[in-house]
Structure 1
Amino acid sequence: MRRVAEDIRHRLSAVLARTDFRDPDLIGVHLTVAEVRMSPDLKHATIFVSRLGNIPTDPLLPALKRVSPFLRSAIGQGMRTKFVPDLHFQPDQALDEATRINRLLHTPEVVRDLAPRSDADDK
């Protein structure tokens, strides 16, 4: 599953880098494929996409769904699988989650708890 997912991620990244879509919502949009997760039967691929500059990806999901037949045919050329999986797009939330955790780690309460204690504090 990982090998197929990575193959799809690389192929899809190359197709999305060209940004030559006929869909007006995707013209000139630069997307990054953060991760691809495959179903156990390899018939479905969930693709996590993000945009540079922390721009929301949610408005682009309907457009990606519209162009998924084109994307399937583009990534299917040269794949060594029996069939090309259906593509399902989701926004990548990893950066938002990392930012939230970083903010939490820098709150005064957490900084105080993480500060090294000296021997004088124990007496």
Structure 2
Amino acid sequence: MAKQTHHSARGPSQRQLRVGELIRRSLSDILTRGDIHDPDLNRMSITVGEVRTSPDLKVATAFVLPLGGKDKEQALLLLRQNRYEIRRAVAKTLALKYAPEIRFLIDETFDQMDETRRILEQDAVRRDIENDSDGGDADGGGE
């Protein structure tokens, strides 16, 4: 039987969450101020929704989305091309033993929320929700 660490079953530790949030804020500030020497990147308005760190804090995955959700691939390309400068800029603002490698992914949260909203607005789903809230039994049976 493989040994399971105490983090694997419970999700990220408080330290991972705290460091992830510090990196998120730092990264947001750097991108907002245009501290990276790339005019194409500085022209884009990029939101950093979340940063997740590995248990050893050596890898940070930043979930990003350009304003309005347009030019996602272009934003990812520019962020990845400038990842070393971004890493140095983030490291300057944080007091960590190691500067984490920063990976970038598109934040799909807003797309998922839109899809959930779309599903909840369907007539059939609305009827089911209203039937459940009227005290109807979920399994159709009585007591």
Q: Distance in 2 between matches of 1:31 and 1:19?
A: 11
- Cα 1:118–1:57 shift into 2, 3 Å: same
Q: Does 1:67 align with 2:82?
A: yes
5+ long unaligned stretches in structure 1: none
- Cα 1:21–1:14 shift into 2, 3 Å: same
- Is residue 57–residue 91 contact of structure 1 (8 Å, CA) maintained in 2? yes
Counterparts in 2 of 1:76-115, with a 5 A limit?
Answer: 76-115=91-130
Runs (4 or more) in structure 1 with deviation over 2 Å come to 19-25, 116-119
Counterparts in 2 of 1:34-73, with a 5 A limit?
Answer: 34-73=49-88
TM-score of the aligned structures, taking structure 1 as reference length: 0.87
- Is residue 44–residue 75 contact of structure 2 (8 Å, CA) maintained in 1? no
- Cα 1:94–1:67 shift into 2, 3 Å: same
- Is residue 31–residue 50 contact of structure 1 (8 Å, CA) maintained in 2? yes
- Is residue 30–residue 36 contact of structure 2 (8 Å, CA) maintained in 1? no
Matched residue, 2:134: 117
Q: Distance in 1 between matches of 2:88 and 2:36?
A: 14
What is the CA distance between 1:78 and its match in structure 2? 3.7
Matched residue, 2:25: 10
Measured against aligned partners, the alpha-carbon deviations of 1:60-80 in whole angstroms (never above 9, x if no partner) come to 212111111111111111422
How many pairs were matched up? 119
Q: Provide the identity percentage.
A: 37
